[in-house]
Chain A
Amino acid sequence: MSSTTAPAAIDEFRAAVSLRAPGVVFQDRGERVAVDECLPDVTCAPSIESDVSAILSEASACGLSVVPYAAGAHMGGANVPREYDVAMLMTRLDRIVAHEPADMTVTLEAGVPITALNATLAAHNQFLPLDPPAADRATVGGVIAANAHGPLRHRYGTVRDWLLGVRVVHADGSISKAGGRVVKNVTGYEMTKLYCGSFGTLGVVTEATLKLAPAPPVRVTVAAQFDTASAAGLYAMAAHDAGLAIDAAELLSPPATYALFGEPRWCVLARAAGGPGAIERTLRELRAYAGAMRGALRECDEATWAAWARALEPGVLALRASVLPSRVAETVEVLDRRFAGAAALLSATVSAGLIRANLDPTRGIRGGTLYESARDVVARRGGTVAIDAAPASLKRQYDVFGAERADIAIMRRIKQEFDPRGTLSRGRFAGRI
């Protein structure tokens, strides 16, 4: 699949950018930056904000569509680009601008990988508590664009809760900032929230300031296995209700448990995190809850979470459902049944009402059937399903953001205001905005 843009426009764009921003590195179209099986006509790699500005303003002038691309970890979560003329590779913007350990904030460029950031922060006993699948590659900018998250969401929420300020390059190349560098700030609209999860359709975040969390002194991971989904769900809810010192708790379907532990049972993988006293109490209570639900609790090592991340990293078809916490266990159980035969791995953050499903539709069941089935199961329970990854053919058939809601009109107007020419990630957003 390739774009139909006239080569002349691309050449004109290249020439103009080279003139204005000689530091931009151009590459020819490559598999490396494929998005939904589409390849760009040209790939350019800016290394400073003004490069980004030059690229976007020239692309806009030439009527080209630009898709910002970093590690590519979360590219599947948006719709197929209507045109994909230019790939803008963000990974060279990888500097940590300022770390204020005493203020527990960090300002960095969008291309910094989360893992690299946390390695730097570890010396100060601080960390950015975001652990999306593919965290080893995922960049801060990518996580913001895709609103990506992992098990830590249980305690720490999502990137919107940690993002203090951004610098953004808009479709016309203009540069704006929003928020600030302090931990509390209500000056101006909360534009930062708008950019989280906008998949690069409103602007390209070049720099972000984030709040940091103190690293818990002790972490202990435990897995509790159960015979039924409801027992696992009750255990997870009980732990949540008791306010135990837990920073992650994932309910795993039997195939997911099998992938991690070699046993096909329902399981809750949880991590106690905090001071020694709080940890001891938390583990004691978890053991008691597990016993009450006739489950077996065992301690695991931290590497279990890396295994989780590998297992749940969006593959061929990945879905993400959002329901009320009280409906999670039941929904997971139904989905597990419906997905039988599709090698489905399910993992749910019960407290957030979030269910991840990693499926392989190659074994006879059509992806569309699986998606529709999940959508219906979840909709009947008052929730929504988004697609994290899917074959392009499926995504052309279904909007990855699900059915249009009443507020789509506001979203269309926002896109129209921010990017009237459709320069940024054309067609990628909800309603194929």
Chain B
Amino acid sequence: MTMDHAPAAASNGERRWNPVTSEVVRALHRAVGRERVLSTPEELLAYEYDATIERGTPQAVVFPESTEQVSAAVAVAHRFGVPVTPRGAGTGLSGGAIAAVGGVVIALTRMKRIIEVDRVNRIAVVEPGVVNLDLSRAVAPFGLYYAPDPSSQRACTIGGNVAENAGGPHCLAYGATTNHVLGLELVLADGEVVHVGGRTRDVPGYDLTGAFVGSEGTLAIATKVTVRLSRIPESTRTLLAVFDSVDDASNAVSAIIAAGILPAALEMMDRHIIAAVEPVINAGFPLDADAVLLIEVDGLEEATTEDAAMIRGICDAQRAREVRLAVESADRERLWAGRKTSISALGRLYPNYYVLDGVVPRPRLPEVLRDVYRIAETHGLAVANVFHAGDGNLHPNLLFDERVPGATDRVLAAGAEIMRRCVDAGGSITGEHGVGLEKRDFIGWIFDDIDLAVMGKLKAAFKADGRYNPCKAFPTTRGCGELTDRVVARHAPALGTDIYV
């Protein structure tokens, strides 16, 4: 054998990647077993998507069942210089699990054991493929739950949540994934296994756990996650406030926050979302309302009573047409089912949606929301809004049919404009979905070259080069040139490249 496995070095010294040859596949077979590798081209087509409109076909998918197998597969990829893309359930909304330039996908779906639950200390140790809701269900008998609750929680995995620092409606009060992860077992890009953080709250040294959460699978693969569990509150009240105008609803949001109430969740749904979801779920969202707010308070019975009364008063003052209170769990669950399936339900209206994830300072919500509708209209697009109003995290869904010539272009143009609007308002291009493949061309609006170089240093410290989940999160990975040719990238400079802070 004289074949040189060393990755070809680019002129500036940055490493490029090699393709997955039959030799690589054989090495993967030896590393993890033939039955844990998928490499038939037609089967790989089932791995070219996630929940976005991005596409990318891997050249092999590996299904490890243990840390050792993850390490072995990653080491093979390292030895041959082929790209690695970690993948959980593939429910992400930024293209993070897409094999952007081919290579090996490490699918962690078979690592789904809940290894340990310590009910007294409210800790669980889980494998990355454990489904978010399954964890909450497993610990429910102890009166506990896992607080971060992304809308895809019945399908998405903890590993994916960690990668994206996933949020959800209830992160308003309880924080996103980063606030609930204590420690990690990681497989670095060369296959080395390292433990960071721990079970106790304070572990001496740099907060590597905190730095890792939200790194979008570009630093390492988490093979065990130690999470904090939370106590199921004794009382939960959910209010549904119905408004005849989106403005009134967003003013109510600002008023609630300004009054010093921190609800567990504060969500807004507009009439287009209601039209998609209400016929399916029958949650009781009025079809003729312009917007509804779903507001939840939890804690002590006395506290939720007080808070619910105050919130009701504020909504009334902001011209709510009606405020309903759901206390029974069945009623609350129906409201939440409506909220959490609402984006997927848009498939009933249009074949495709493009969901944005911008964040704005909460007082700017009403004006930015008005602009969202205006921008969509300018581009001749339907837009449906359902979002985490309480933390200013917008999810405008641009609706289209990608088979119509030019439709995707218009959507991406409108999307870019909306993101730009969020940035101009002092916000961010993503609140919980991640930058991924989808928004990497816009990160320059937030961070300049120095900011990104500093992040690159962290990546280097983890020994992860551009081969590790390539073309994600950062705009300048070499070899992703063909991707930047996409329409989405052409819109970024058109809207300005200045930096807002």
Contact = CB atoms under 8 A, between A and B. Distances in A.
Touch between A and B in complex, CB under 8 Å?
yes
Interface of A: 100-105, 125-126, 147, 157, 160-161, 165, 168, 170, 174-178, 180-191, 193-194, 196-198, 202, 213-215, 237, 241-245, 274-278, 280-282, 320, 322-326, 352-354, 382-384, 386, 401-402, 405-411, 413-414, 416-418, 429-430
Contacts of B473: 188-189
Given A103-B361, A182-B359, A194-B210, 7 more contacts: A102-B362, A103-B362, A186-B164, A186-B435, A189-B211, A384-B203, A413-B463
A274 B304 CA distance: 11
B194 to A, nearest CB: 5
Contacts of A324: 118, 121, 123, 199-200
B432 interface: yes
11 contacts: A161-B175, A176-B454, A188-B451, A189-B473, A193-B210, A194-B206, A275-B303, A322-B203, A323-B200, A324-B200, A352-B201
B353 to A, nearest CB: 20
Contacts of A323: 200
A125 B257 CA distance: 12
Interface string B152-190: 000000000000110100010001101100000000000
Contact of B300 (A100, A183, A243): A243
Contacts of B85: none
Nearest to B463: A413
Given A161-B175, A187-B435, A196 B210 contact: yes
B141 interface: no
Given A175-B450, A188-B473, A322 B206 contact: no
A196 B207 contact: yes
A410 B447 contact: no
Interface stretch (B68-76, B336-344, B423-431): B423-431
Between A185, A325, A383, the greatest number of chain B beta carbons within 10 A of the residue's beta carbon is seen for A185
B461 A181 contact: no
B306 A275 contact: yes
A397 to B, nearest CB: 17
B260 A214 contact: yes
A417 B446 contact: no
B216 to A, nearest CB: 8
Interface string B191-227: 0001110111111111111110111000000000000
A200 to B, nearest CB: 12
A401 B430 contact: no
A322 B202 contact: yes
Interface stretch (B278-286, B385-393, B398-406, B489-497): B385-393
Contacts of A243: 231, 233-234, 299-300
A119 B260 CA distance: 17
B301 A193 contact: no
Interface string B295-327: 000011111011100000000000000000000
B199 A187 contact: no
Contacts of B206: 194, 197-198, 202, 410-411, 414, 429-430
A101 B260 contact: no
Contacts of B388: 184
Given A102-B254, A186-B433, A191-B454, A278 B200 contact: no
A261 B179 CA distance: 36
Contacts of A105: 361
Contacts of B428: 180, 182, 184-187
Contact of A193 (B194, B207, B447, B451): B207
Contacts of A103: 257, 361-363, 392
Contacts, number: 258
Contact of A125 (B207, B260, B391, B458): B260
Contacts of A429: 205-206
Given A188-B435, A196-B207, A323-B200, A417 B460 contact: yes
A382 B302 CA distance: 38
Interface string B448-460: 0011111101111
A413 B461 CA distance: 5
A191 B214 CA distance: 10
Nearest to B165: A186
A422 B308 CA distance: 54
A413 B392 CA distance: 37
Contacts of A147: 202, 207
Closest 8 CB pairs of A and B: A193-B210, A214-B260, A277-B302, A417-B457, A401-B204, A322-B202, A413-B461, A278-B303
A360 to B, nearest CB: 24
A410 B462 contact: yes
B349 interface: no
Contacts of A102: 254, 257-258, 362-363
A272 to B, nearest CB: 11
A126 B214 contact: no
Given A176-B450, A281-B301, A194 B460 contact: no
B262 interface: yes
A418 B457 contact: yes
Contact of B299 (A157, A176, A245): A245
B501 interface: yes
A417 B461 contact: yes
Contacts of A418: 454, 457
A104 B257 contact: yes
B443 interface: yes
A7 to B, nearest CB: 33
A421 to B, nearest CB: 14
A274 B208 contact: no
Contacts of A175: 450
Contact of A186 (B121, B431, B463): B431
B205 A406 contact: no
B3 interface: no
A382 B361 contact: no
Contact of B231 (A241, A281, A320): A241
A186 B430 contact: yes
Contacts of B164: 186
Nearest to B261: A214
Contacts of A180: 359, 427-428, 446, 501
B120 interface: yes
A318 to B, nearest CB: 14
B341 to A, nearest CB: 22
Between A197, A243, A282, A320, the greatest number of chain B beta carbons within 10 A of the residue's beta carbon is seen for A243
Nearest to B428: A185
B270 to A, nearest CB: 20
Contacts of A125: 260
B274 interface: no
Contact of A277 (B195, B196, B231, B303): B303
Contacts of A410: 194, 196, 206, 208, 461-462
Contact of B260 (A100, A126, A189, A278): A126
A191 B211 contact: yes
Contacts of B95: none
B451 A176 contact: yes
